Structure formats: C-alpha cells, structure tokens
C-alpha cells in the first residue's frame, strides 16, 4: 500500500466520519455546521479525483451561498424551540438501516465491478474542441455540446426563484424579499464587507475567465460574485432589489433567453454548436444569487 493510498483512505474516513456525525448528532444546528464542513471536504475529494471544475463548484456553493442559507435557516428554526418532533419507532429505524446498508453494499459492488474499458465520450469531446476554440473540455461540454442541459438548468434556477418569491407573505409581495440587514458601521463585519468584495470580484471574474482553458467557469465565478453581493447585503451596505422591479425581472429572464436566442440563431444560420458568450456572467450571477437571498426573507 502506497503513501498516497493511505492518505486517500484517511480523507475518505474523515469525510465519512463527518457525514455520520452530521446524521447522528441530536442538535439540528450542529448538524448544519457539520454538513457545511462536509461539503468543503468533499471538494478535496473532487480535487483528488482530478475533477477540479466540480471541486470549484462545490467549494463556491457550499462555502458561500449554500452555507449561509442552511445556517440561517437552522438558526431561525432552532430558536423557536420546536424540537419535540418524535423519532420513528425502532422497527422503522432498523429496517431503514437495513435498506441503507443494502443500497450502500450494492453501490460498492458496482464500483468494484466497473468494466475495465469503460465507455467514455472523452475522446469525442477532445476531438471536437476545435469547434469552440476553448481548451477546457468541461466548459466545452457545458456550453456547447450539452448546452441544452445548461439552458434548462438556468430555467430550473429561475423556477426556484419564482417559487421562493411566491412563498413571500402577501403583505411583502412585490416588495423586497427580506428585511434590511443592519450592522455597526464601525464593526468588523462592515470593514470586511468593504474590503473583501473588490478582491472577490477580481477572483470571481478570473474564475469565470479562466474557465475557457482551465478549470473554472460561469457558475463558479457567478457563485463567488453572488457571495460577495450577499456579504455586502449582510453587512447592511446594500439592499436586496425589490421583486417587482422590471429591470431585475428582465435581467433574470435574460439568462435562459440569451441561450434560446443563441440556440435559435445557431439553428437559423445552420451552425452546429451554440456559441459561448461572456454575456452569460451577469445572468448567472443573478440567477445563482437571488434565490438564496430571497430565501432568507
């Protein structure tokens, strides 16, 4: 057994231990903290699996937006002291454990029995990279070869946002989705919120830009930009835009809309692939960012 294998086993053990702790711990808030840390550690596994694009997505989402969303919800739900939910009976627990173990065992067997020569589309992706001029294969797949998925994903984000907005109280409808945050103007938080966003914007745009040739891309960069926006909101430096502002809505629809226009244009001009447009950054930022913010209403 090599040193690297020992390290891999250790990493897997740490991640799994954290997962078990997250599932087993009594306090919901602790479980949420455990899950956020779990998400960040999973990014390490992705790096080890040589899937840095995914690692970036995982880190950007669970470290920024997702973590804040879950922790905020956990704090609000916990403070009301409703924890009297009754657990299922012993028989149910035992059968659930049996079912889970069976599933895990079946998946383990499947992993060990993976065929040696797996069918893969990787050579095809590499062979057609000339069509886009980009050298990051993952970005090629996302933006060109499977652009349909990405477009529908943006639609899903939009639907989630509409769903979150629709859940707002009637009195709040059409207004700002959450209360304005306030913080001590001379406090540490405001200091950080003034210092970090400029740096974060540079990093976010860099991650987006480098996505053409190296791991990175619009989602990861967009998530970072949205996190920076969220930081400014949490420090009370800026406010969430009102839901009924026409410009915001147009901007949100522009994401999938742009995809549709580019796709239809490709069809019209007889080109085989959707082109990659840098204009996607802003809609991606908004689409990734706004559901989260409004969920905190």
Partner 1 sequence: MNDFLIAAVGFILAMLALGLVSILRGPDNTDRMMAAQLIGTAGIATLLLLGTVGAVPAAVDVALTLALLATFASIAFVKKGLASLEADGAGSAEDK
Partner 2 sequence: MSLARDMITIIAVSAGAFFFLAGTVGLLRFPDTLTRLHALTKADNLGLGLVVVGLLPQAASLREGLKLISIWLLGLLAGATVSQLIARTARQSERAK
Partner 3 sequence: MTAVRVFGVCAALAVGLGLFGLITNPQPLRKIIAFNILGSGVFLLFGIVGRHGAASGIGNDPVPQALVITGVVVAFAATALAIALLLQLFQRAGSATLRNGAPRSAGSDPPGG
DSSP per residue, 151-214: HHHHHHHHHHHHHHHHTS-GGGTTS-SSPPP---TTSHHHHHHHHHHHHHHHHHHHHHHHTTTS
Residue that the structure tokens 């939009």 belong to: 158
56 lies in the site for partner 1, by CB under 8 A: yes
Which residues from 172-231 bind partner 3, rule CB under 8 A? 217, 219
CB 77 within 8 A of CB 28: yes
* Residue 64, contacted partner among partner 3, partner 1, partner 2, none, CB below 5-8 A by kind: partner 1
Residue number, 156 or 188, with CB nearest to partner 3: 156
Dihedral (Cα; 152, 154, 157, 158), 10-degree rounding: -100
Residue number, 63 or 241, with CB nearest to partner 1: 63
Which residues from 188-247 bind partner 2, rule CB under 8 A? 188-189, 191-192, 195-196, 199
- Among 142, 147, 200, 292, which residue sits at the site for partner 1 (rule: CB under 8 A)? 200
Report the C-alpha gap between 90 and 93 in whole angstroms. Answer: 5
Which residues from 129-158 bind partner 3, rule CB under 8 A? 137-138, 140-142, 146, 149-150, 153, 156-157
98 lies in the site for partner 2, by CB under 8 A: no
Report the C-alpha gap between 203 and 127 in whole angstroms. Answer: 31
217 lies in the site for partner 1, by CB under 8 A: no
Residue that the structure tokens 């950080």 belong to: 192
Q: What is the x/- site pattern for partner 3, positions 105-134, by CB under 8 A?
A: xxxx-xxx-x---xxxxxx-xx--------
Distance of closest approach, residue 283 Cβ to partner 1, in angstroms: 21
- CA nearest to 255, candidates 125, 160, 138: 160
* Residue 295, contacted partner among partner 3, partner 2, partner 1, none, CB below 5-8 A by kind: partner 3
């Amino acid at each position: 057994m090599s040193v690297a294998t020992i390290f891999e086993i250790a990493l897997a053990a740490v991640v799994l231990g954290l997962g078990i702790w997250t599932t087993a711990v009594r306090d919901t808030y602790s479980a949420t903290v455990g899950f956020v840390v779990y998400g960040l550690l999973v990014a390490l596994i992705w790096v080890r699996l040589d899937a840095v694009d995914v690692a970036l997505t995982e880190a950007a989402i669970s470290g920024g937006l997702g973590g804040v969303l879950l922790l905020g919800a956990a704090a609000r739900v916990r403070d009301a002291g409703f924890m009297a939910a009754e657990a299922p009976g012993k028989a149910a627990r035992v059968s659930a454990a049996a079912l889970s173990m069976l599933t895990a065992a079946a998946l383990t067997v499947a992993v060990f029995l993976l065929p040696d020569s797996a069918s893969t589309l990787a050579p095809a992706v590499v062979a057609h990279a000339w069509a886009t001029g980009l050298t990051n294969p993952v970005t090629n797949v996302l933006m060109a070869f499977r652009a349909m998925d990405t477009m529908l994903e943006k639609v899903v984000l939009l639907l989630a946002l509409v769903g979150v907005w629709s859940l707002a109280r009637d009195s709040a409808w059409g207004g700002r989705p959450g209360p304005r945050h306030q913080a001590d103007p001379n406090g540490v938080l405001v200091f950080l919120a003034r210092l970090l966003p400029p740096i974060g914007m540079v990093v976010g745009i860099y991650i987006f830009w480098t996505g053409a040739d190296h791991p990175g891309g619009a989602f990861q960069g967009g998530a970072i930009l949205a996190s920076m926006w969220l930081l400014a909101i949490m420090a009370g430096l800026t406010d969430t835009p009102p839901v009924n502002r026409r410009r915001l809505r147009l901007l949100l629809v522009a994401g999938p809309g742009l995809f549709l226009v580019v796709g239809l244009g490709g069809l019209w001009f007889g080109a085989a692939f959707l082109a990659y447009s840098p204009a996607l950054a802003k809609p991606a930022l908004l689409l990734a960012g706004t559901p989260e913010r409004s969920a905190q209403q």
